[in-house]
Amino acid sequence: MQTSFTVTQLLDPQVASSEKILRACVHCGFCTATCPTYVLLGDELDSPRGRIYLIKEMLEQDKPATREVVKHIDRCLSCLACMTTCPSGVHYMHLVDHAREHIEKTYKRPMTDRMLRGLLARVLVDPGLFRLAVVMGLIARPLAPVLDILGLRRMAAMLRLTPHRKPAPPLDRTGKVYPAQGKRLGRVALLSGCINPVLAPSTNEAAIRLLNRHGIEVVIAAGEACCGSLVHHLGREDEALSQARNNIDAWTRELEGAGLDAILVTVSGCGTTIKDYGFMLRSDPAYAKKAARISTRARDITEYLATLNLRDASAPVPLTIAYHAACSLQHGQKVMREPKDLLSKMGFVVKDVPEGHLCCGSAGTYNILQPALAEQLRARKVASIERLTPDVIAAGNIGCITQIAAGTAVPVVHTVELLDWATGGPAPEPLAELVSSRVSVPPSY
Ligand code: SF4
Ligand code: SF4
């Protein structure tokens, strides 16, 4: 694609980088077929190619974003299916990140939008505040239909995503070291993060048990917190970079102290962002090198587990698993085989979900900010999954787990919980009923 940025504009490293991305696009349109919003809406401006064109115009003119551009960029899930499909290697992720930042700096959203986005940016990254919000959501949940009638669909969507049980106060694990069982074979940091300790503490508990059982010491680095992914996708770049720097410092202290073989992440949305720290901070002289080093050490938990010799195990109960590939894992990190191979090795029957490239509608805060599209995508995803008649759904991202669980009665668990169970850990709690019904009762004679 031809571009017409001025020489002065190209002195800005961010513009220079986006210009390169724009020039790689040959407008072939292959990406439209796999874009969830184009599939649903059929509007070229809600396709990757259309959005790329809008972003090009907006950046070239260097003018405040218009309402039209904001509408179509806001509808983008950042699912990155377009990057997997694109034959020209267009790095859409960096382009749309730049566009979101430009929008945040130049466009004045309506007051209610600003308040909601500000609230999400403040509450979701703080486990204490987030738990409080979940508890309040639990109480207010029955009001969701009323909010729908009043036209407050985003508030209603938030309530519907609230889990059915009150979460326990999140444990602060930062600074804790979990020693390896037997001979120590490795040492890793595990991201504790912000949402996981409230909604799914069992995920990291399973990860720690599993790693320790296989000779890996685990540290939750002192001072680590939210990775910055949530605010990054809201275009709040200064906050995202500050959160990234905080975690880089925390992990660098561990790297240079007792040492780390890897930095493991059990939330694939966070993993994609941490792997991108090197790019995000490339122009920061104080952090560029450190950020690049952290990014090269970051691994999805299943990538790392695939390098270990997991103890011989077999599925404690033969189960059929529908494996939901989170977009951030399959498109963002290109981790596709590892979770399925690990589960298969454990003796589970693993089935791919038809239309697996399409997002479930979670996408960070998308299911709150764009509830109508998110609900359509969830319904489509759940229908595809349920056609497989699985016993359980496995996924590697808390956002997808919450989103899918809100639309189906099939239990949804993190992949690592199944792997922990198969190698000697407890059964994942959502499977308790299923497991007790499947445990074979010895025949009575
Ligand atoms: S597939 Fe790639 S090159 Fe083709 S239109 Fe989409 S982004 Fe551009
Ligand atoms: S990131 Fe996803 S929603 Fe956005 S343009 Fe690409 S395929 Fe479409």
Quick one: pLDDT at residue 171? 83
Q: Confidence band (pLDDT; 50, 70, 90) for 121? A: very high
Helices (H), 166-261: 196-199, 201-213, 229-233, 237-256
Over range 375-379, report the average pLDDT: 98
Record the pTM. 0.94
Average pLDDT of the residues of the chain: 94
Quick one: pLDDT at residue 68? 97
Quick one: pLDDT at residue 440? 52
Gap between the terminal Cα atoms of the chain:
77
Q: Which ligand is nearest to the CA of 34?
A: 2
Quick one: pLDDT at residue 193? 84
Ligand 2 first shell, C-beta below 6 A:
35-37, 48, 51, 76-82, 92
Range with the poorest average pLDDT among 22-26, 134-138, 259-263, 392-396 = 134-138
CB 330 within 8 Å of CB 366: no
Residue 147: is its pLDDT beyond 80?
yes
Quick one: pLDDT at residue 443? 46
* Residue given tokens 């590697």 in the structure block: 396
Residue 253: is its pLDDT beyond 50?
yes
Residue 445: is its pLDDT beyond 50?
no
72-84: pLDDT as tens digits: 999 999 999 999 9
Quick one: pLDDT at residue 444? 46
Range with the poorest average pLDDT among 191-195, 217-221, 388-392 = 191-195
Q: Give the burial class of 11: count Cβ atoms within 10 A of its Cβ; 0-12 exposed, 13-18 middle, 19 or more buried.
A: exposed
Residue whose CA is at the smallest distance from ligand 1 atom 4: 28
Q: Which residues contact 76 (CB under 8 A, 6 or more apart)?
A: 37, 46, 51, 96
Residue 237: is its pLDDT beyond 70?
yes
Residue 165: is its pLDDT beyond 90?
no
Instruction: For residue 312, give the DSSP letter.
Output: P
CB 374 within 8 Å of CB 239: no
Give the distance (Å) from ligand 2 centre to CA of residue 11.
28
Residue 246: is its pLDDT beyond 60?
yes
Quick one: pLDDT at residue 390? 98
Locate 23 and state its tokens: 């020039």
Range with the poorest average pLDDT among 70-84, 251-265, 430-444 = 430-444
Q: Is the CB of 33 under 6 A from ligand 1?
A: no
Give the distance (Å) from ligand 1 centre to CA of residue 231.
27
Residue whose CA is at the smallest distance from ligand 1 atom 1: 86
Give counts: helices (H), strands (E), the chain: 26, 9
Range with the poorest average pLDDT among 46-50, 122-126, 247-251, 276-280 = 122-126
Hey, which of 88, 93, 94 would you mutate to test ligand 1's pocket, going by the most ligand atoms within 8 Å of its Cβ? 88
Quick one: pLDDT at residue 436? 80
Q: What DSSP string describes 260-291?
A: -SEEEESSHHHHHHHTTHHHHTTT-TTTHHHH
Give percent above pLDDT 90 in the chain: 87
Cβ count near 272 (within 10 Å): 27
Q: Confidence band (pLDDT; 50, 70, 90) for 439? A: low
Q: Confidence band (pLDDT; 50, 70, 90) for 167? A: confident
* Ligand 2 atom with the shortest distance to the CA of 48: 5
45-73: pLDDT as tens digits: 999 999 999 999 999 999 899 999 999 99
Residue whose CA is at the smallest distance from ligand 1 atom 3: 25
* Spatial separation of the C-alpha atoms in residues 216 and 211, rounded to whole Å: 5
Residue 262: is its pLDDT beyond 90?
yes
* Spatial separation of the C-alpha atoms in residues 208 and 359, rounded to whole Å: 29
Quick one: pLDDT at residue 416? 98
312-344: pLDDT as tens digits: 777 788 899 999 999 999 999 999 999 999 999
Residue 19: is its pLDDT beyond 70?
yes
Q: Please, what sign has the CA dihedral across residues 196, 202, 206, 212?
A: positive
Residue 347: is its pLDDT beyond 80?
yes
* Spatial separation of the C-alpha atoms in residues 92 and 98, rounded to whole Å: 10
Over range 428-435, report the average pLDDT: 87
Range with the poorest average pLDDT among 70-79, 97-106, 196-205, 309-318 = 309-318
Give percent above pLDDT 70 in the chain: 98
Residue type, 352: D
Hey, which of 90, 94, 95, 96 would you mutate to test ligand 1's pocket, going by the most ligand atoms within 8 Å of its Cβ? 90
Range with the poorest average pLDDT among 81-90, 308-317, 351-360, 376-385 = 308-317
Label the pairing between strands 216-219 and 177-178: antiparallel
CB 170 within 8 Å of CB 128: yes
